[in-house]
Amino acid sequence: FPEMLSNPKLVLVQGALNVVMNQNVTLSCLSESGSPPVRYTLFRHNQQVSALNRSDLTPALFSLTMSSASDVGEYKCKAEYNISSGGKYSNSLNFTLIEPISKPVLSSPTSQAKKGQNVTLSCLSENGSLPITYLFFKGTQNISPQKTMQKREAAVIFLFIDSLSDFGTYKCKANNSFPNNTKYSNAFNFTLAEERSHSQPLIISLGLILLLLIIGFALAIPFFVIPLYKASE
CATH of the domain at 17: 2.60.40.10
Residue-averaged pLDDT of the chain = 89
Residue 233 maps to a domain? no
Q: What's the rounded Cα separation, in Å, for the pair 141 and 143?
A: 6
pLDDT digits (tens, 9 = 90+) for 109-162: 999 998 889 999 999 999 999 999 999 999 999 999 999 999 999 999 999 998
Q: What's the rounded Cα separation, in Å, for the pair 46 and 36?
A: 25
> Cα 153 vs. chain centroid, distance in angstroms?
7
Q: Which of 159, 156, 154, 157 shows the shortest CA–CA distance to 119? A: 159
Q: Is the pTM of this model over 0.75?
A: no
Question: Is 52 found in the same domain as 116?
Answer: no
Residue 210 maps to a domain? no
What pLDDT does 229 receive?
55
More confident residue, 106 or 227: 106
Question: Is 147 found in the same domain as 91?
Answer: no
Polymer length of the chain: 233
CB proximity list for 62: less than 8 A, separation 6 or greater: 26, 27, 28, 29, 42, 49, 50, 52, 77
Q: Which of 76, 97, 118 is the last residue of a domain?
A: 97
CB proximity list for 191: less than 8 A, separation 6 or greater: 111, 112, 113, 167
Question: Is 87 found in the same domain as 13?
Answer: yes
pLDDT digits (tens, 9 = 90+) for 34-72: 888 999 999 999 999 999 999 998 999 999 999 988 999
Q: Is the four-CA dihedral 10, 15, 19, 22 of positive or negative sign?
A: negative
Residue 41 maps to a domain? yes
Residue 179 maps to a domain? yes
Parallel, antiparallel or unpaired: strands 112-113 and 191-192: parallel
* Cα distances (angstroms) measured from residue 36 to each of 28, 41, 58, 98: 17, 15, 10, 39
Question: Is 155 found in the same domain as 87?
Answer: no
Q: Which of 172, 179, 180 shows the shortest CA–CA distance to 156? A: 172
Question: Is 114 found in the same domain as 92?
Answer: no
More confident residue, 191 or 61: 61
Question: Is 118 found in the same domain as 49?
Answer: no
Residue 4 maps to a domain? no
Question: Is 50 found in the same domain as 122?
Answer: no
Q: Which of 97, 121, 141 is the last residue of a domain?
A: 97
DSSP 22: T
User: What confidence tier does 89 reach under pLDDT thresholds 50, 70, 90?
Assistant: very high
Question: Is 114 found in the same domain as 182?
Answer: yes
Q: Please say whether the beta carbons of 103 and 185 come within 8 A.
A: yes
Question: Is 182 found in the same domain as 125?
Answer: yes
Question: Is 112 found in the same domain as 92?
Answer: no
What pLDDT does 204 receive?
73
Residue 114 maps to a domain? yes
Domain count, the chain: 2
Residue 231 maps to a domain? no
Determine which of 2-6, 33-37, 44-48, 187-191 has the lowest per-residue pLDDT on average: 2-6
Q: In percent, how much of the chain has pLDDT > 90?
A: 66
Q: What is the DSSP string of 95-117?
A: EEE--PPPPPEEE-S-SEE-TTE
What pLDDT does 218 receive?
78
More confident residue, 83 or 229: 83
Residue 113 maps to a domain? yes
Q: In percent, how much of the chain has pLDDT > 70?
A: 89
Please determine, for residue 196, whether its predicted confidence score (pLDDT) is greater than 70: no
Element (H, E) at 202: helix 200-220
Residue 29 lies in domain: 9-97
Beta-ladder partners of 77: 42
Question: Is 149 found in the same domain as 85?
Answer: no
Question: Is 181 found in the same domain as 116?
Answer: yes
Q: Which of 78, 97, 116 is the last residue of a domain?
A: 97
